[in-house]
Amino acid sequence: MPAPPGRLAIDLDAIAGNWLKLCGLAAPAAVAGVVKADAYGLGMDRVTPALRRAGCSLFFVAGLEEGASLRALLPDVEIAVLSAPVEGFQAAYRDYRLLPVLNHAGDLAAWPGEDAVLHIDTGMTRLGLDPADAAALEQRRFRLVMSHLACADEPDHPLNEAQRRLFTELAARFDAPASLANSSGVFLGPGYRFDLARPGMALYGLNPTPGEANPMQPVIRLEARVLQVREAGRPLTVGYGATAEVRAGRRLATVAAGYADGYLRAASPGAGAMLHGREVPLIGRVSMDSIVLDVTGLPPGSVNPGDWAVLIGEGVDADALAEAAGTIGYEILTSLGARYARSYTGGGGSGA
Ligand SMILES: Cc1ncc(COP(=O)(O)O)c(C=O)c1O
């Protein structure tokens, strides 16, 4: 096998450490693990055993397939699926011992059992029962009653307090544990933590407190090889659309990661990478399989084909890359491509 042009290192101990940190912050509330979308792109098969070993015993996934995969990995945990079974798939939820999250009246009618999560919409307007309809269910028992915050990453947003108040009132009507906070919600204060927090992004090292220092440990390091280095002998334009111009004498390194690898096209201009410990800017458009870095600031001859550029790591974090691309760190992680050679450290696992 030829050497891969990109490599993605995932630190399972950092994920477990982030979960334990959130447990400390949320206590006495318990903390689940949100591992949908293949554990935010980092690999459910490696992430969930590491979380389990750290003590996590309740996981949230998005759909039946994810639930079935997780059940095969972890026979002894609770798995909540954020969508209830569609007609004909109730038996599969039972077979895999999945807790459906019941979002609307149809879900509630189709799943009469107590082994379910009731989701009440308090302001997200995506999934969940209208609060007015929740009153009729007070006699029913559920494993958990939950709602989801729309603006938890904006502590001053008035919707946070409105959702917290409404959920406090609604949850008190049910004889079941209650859950409201996602990662950022944990940091909004004790009033948001209820009985269970449901963090995802903070486990994976994204910053749940935007605008402040990231309290979580970094989890990933993404690197790609330098393919070619050139010095401009005359003024040149760089890449598709000739959107960037460089003067004679600038040195450019072409690096093997592009939008097909989830290195978002919108990241340029604005994004940077690390090369030999120095931050270097992207120049020109992101191509399918490559980007170009302006390495003029590094000593001549110091950058060569085969060198590794750090695209995420060493201070260039997924949140910064997301900001350059006009998106959020979640999209950076869940877009990480299949061409990277993945390696895992820690987690009590067996390495790469
Ligand atoms: C219902 C629900 N709860 C919890 C989470 C975890 O959120 P975060 O990754 O922001 O912690 C999500 C993620 O989108 C979600 O949809």
Q: Which fold, 220-345? A: Lyase, Ornithine Decarboxylase; Chain A, domain 1 (2.40.37)
Q: Is 218 in the pocket of ligand 1 (CB under 6 A)?
A: no
| Count of positions (residues) in the chain | 352
Q: Which of 160, 183, 198 gets mutated to test ligand 1 (max ligand atoms within 8 A of its CB)?
A: 198
Task: In whole angstroms, give the CA distance from residue 172 to residue 304.
Answer: 63
- 16: DSSP letter: H
Task: In whole angstroms, give the CA distance from residue 281 to residue 133.
Answer: 53
SS3 285: coil
Predicted confidence (pLDDT) at residue 338 exceeds the cutoff of 80: yes
Confidence class for position 163, pLDDT limits 50, 70, 90: very high
Predicted confidence (pLDDT) at residue 234 exceeds the cutoff of 50: yes
Token digits of residue 41: 């792109």
- CA nearest 127: which of 94, 95, 103? 103
Task: In whole angstroms, give the CA distance from residue 49 to residue 37.
Answer: 16
Query: Domain extents for the chain?
Result: 32-204, 220-345
> Checking DSSP bridges between strand 6-11 and strand 220-231, what pairing results, if any?
antiparallel
Average pLDDT over residues 314-329: 95
Centroid of ligand 1 to alpha carbon of 184 (angstroms) = 9
pLDDT digits 0-9 by tens, 62-105: 999 999 999 999 999 999 999 999 989 999 999 999 999 999 99
CATH architecture of 32-204: Alpha-Beta Barrel (3.20)
Indicate the residue type of 278. Answer: R
Ligand 1 atom nearest to CA at 330: 9
Using CA atoms, how far residue 134 sits from 108, 137, 165, in Å, is 11, 5, 15
Residue pair 283/292 in contact by the 8 Å Cβ criterion: yes
Phi, psi of 25 (to 5 degrees): -70, -35
Indicate the residue type of 327. Answer: T
Q: Is 40 a catalytic residue?
A: no
Predicted confidence (pLDDT) at residue 350 exceeds the cutoff of 60: no
Residue pair 240/288 in contact by the 8 Å Cβ criterion: no
pLDDT, mean over the chain: 96
